[in-house]
Amino acid sequence: MHSGQQKMWSKCIPFVRVSCDGNELAYVREVLESGWLTTASKAQEFERRFAQEVGTRFAIAVNSCTSALHLGLEAMGVGPGDKVLVPTMTFTASAEVVRYLDADPVFLDVEYGSSLITPEIVAEGIDRHPDAKALIVVHFAGQSARMLSQDGPGILEVCRQRGLKVLEDAAHAFPTRCGERMVGGLGDATCFSFYANKTITTGEGGMLTTDDEAIAARARVMRLHGIDRDVWSRFTAEKPSWEYDVIAPGYKYNMPDINAAIGLAQLERAWSMRDQRQRCATHYLQRLAELEAVDPPLVHVPPEDHAWHLFVLTVKPQARVNRGRLIELLAARGIGTSVPYRPLHRMSYYRDRYQLKAEEFPQAERIWRGCVALPLYPTLSDDEIDYICNSLYELLG
């Protein structure tokens, strides 16, 4: 029950609140005092711990998830003229990296309610484009797509049978389980984001994880100017340390130790922060169960397996106010929201370049017309969630 206008207008619930109240400051101080601010021992330690957490052989720290996606595709051999399947309901980074390599994204529709691609959607995409070289999977909102076989083939099996590489965009999905395993060690390579609004942050940052030695080696070289350090250390150990070789025109994608220090502190609290977000999501789901005007997020996994990065409602077409108006009215009550995402087939660059029609993406269109993400972070209190839910009932009920 809400407690009148006066109290109502005094609330301020931002869409994102960053939680940096662990060892972040202490670890950053260590870096500053060490005098070594770029990539060194903290980045290495962050890689080691992250690999342990997701259960992969290799983890390669970089300066963004976008960089990780670029490195992953490059290491898989995607090049000019290749086709890469990408869901339309994602951030532009998932598709722009395909263009970096002069390859072409082929957009897939998604499942209504979850915004995930399914094995069926992938199989149909491959039927339409049998020459596709790779698939990018987005674990939307922090829920794993159906990667593993269970009552039918999973996405990995579909792709393996048809010869496609699988790169996972797990920008929303840490920590996320898929069955008994963690997202990070499923496909050929997986990319994580530590951007400020993600489930754990380094300010800006990303990670590429893989069990594939060749992908790891290539990504490591390309991460830092194409300098082949392995060759250098193996064959020229007796040479002076200033000597190195460049074997490709690489990139400048390394993660500085300052950022890795923040990441190490965040990693310590990744699971407890996830638990808090689950508390929020469970509370929302209970409170909003009777709100006819919206569809709640479709969840296929046990709540413990979900990273709960986003809580996305879809406002139904027959609702009293539409999505745009709802966002304004919530903002007037001090409630921040977001719209993830305007699908890529509606972005002028992709739409015009590939002559995309909205009718080809019926489920993404349904989502797009109504989707709105509510605040979801560890420090969101039950009272704040009640206030948000009461507001939704008042505006839509």
Ligand X SMILES: *Cc1c(COP(=O)(O)O)cnc(C)c1O
Binding footprint of ligand X on the chain (CB under 6 A): 64-66, 90-91, 93-94, 138, 169, 171-172, 193, 195, 206
Smallest distance, Å, CB 244 to ligand X?
28
Give the nearer residue to ligand X in terms of CB position, either 93 or 117. 93
Give the nearer residue to ligand X in terms of CB position, either 72 or 206. 206
- The set of residues, in sequence order, having a beta carbon less than 8 Å from that of 184 and lying 6+ positions away, is 53, 54, 55, 56, 168, 170, 174, 190, 192, 209
Phi and psi torsions of 191, nearest 5°: -120, 130
- Distance of alpha carbon 84 from alpha carbon 309, whole angstroms: 26
* Burial bucket for residue 78 (CB in 10 Å: 0-12, 13-18, 19+): buried
Give the nearer residue to ligand X in terms of CB position, either 194 or 387. 194
Quote the Cα angle for 165-169-174, to 5°.
130
Give the nearer residue to ligand X in terms of CB position, either 172 or 274. 172
Give the nearer residue to ligand X in terms of CB position, either 192 or 284. 192
Q: Which of 83, 133, 165, 198 is catalytic?
A: 198
Give the nearer residue to ligand X in terms of CB position, either 28 or 68. 68
CA distances for 325 relative to 263, 286, 315, 342, angstroms:
38, 24, 11, 16
CA distances for 105 relative to 100, 169, 193, 323, angstroms:
11, 14, 21, 29
- Virtual torsion, Cα 271, 276, 27, 51, nearest 10 deg: 20
Give the nearer residue to ligand X in terms of CB position, either 36 or 195. 195
Smallest distance, Å, CB 310 to ligand X?
9
* Burial bucket for residue 21 (CB in 10 Å: 0-12, 13-18, 19+): exposed
Smallest distance, Å, CB 215 to ligand X?
19
Give the nearer residue to ligand X in terms of CB position, either 83 or 172. 172
Smallest distance, Å, CB 91 to ligand X?
4
Smallest distance, Å, CB 234 to ligand X?
32
Clarify whether 252 is annotated catalytic.
no
* Burial bucket for residue 292 (CB in 10 Å: 0-12, 13-18, 19+): exposed
- Virtual torsion, Cα 39, 41, 44, 46, nearest 10 deg: -100
Total residues found in the chain within this entry: 397
- Distance of alpha carbon 368 from alpha carbon 109, whole angstroms: 12
- Distance of alpha carbon 6 from alpha carbon 342, whole angstroms: 35
- The set of residues, in sequence order, having a beta carbon less than 8 Å from that of 315 and lying 6+ positions away, is 293, 294, 321, 322, 323, 326, 369, 370, 371, 372, 396
Edge-to-edge, what's the strand order for the sheet holding 371-374?
A: 294-295, 311-315, 371-374
Smallest distance, Å, CB 71 to ligand X?
12
Smallest distance, Å, CB 206 to ligand X?
5
Smallest distance, Å, CB 239 to ligand X?
36
- Distance of alpha carbon 64 from alpha carbon 191, whole angstroms: 9
Catalytic site residues? Answer: 198
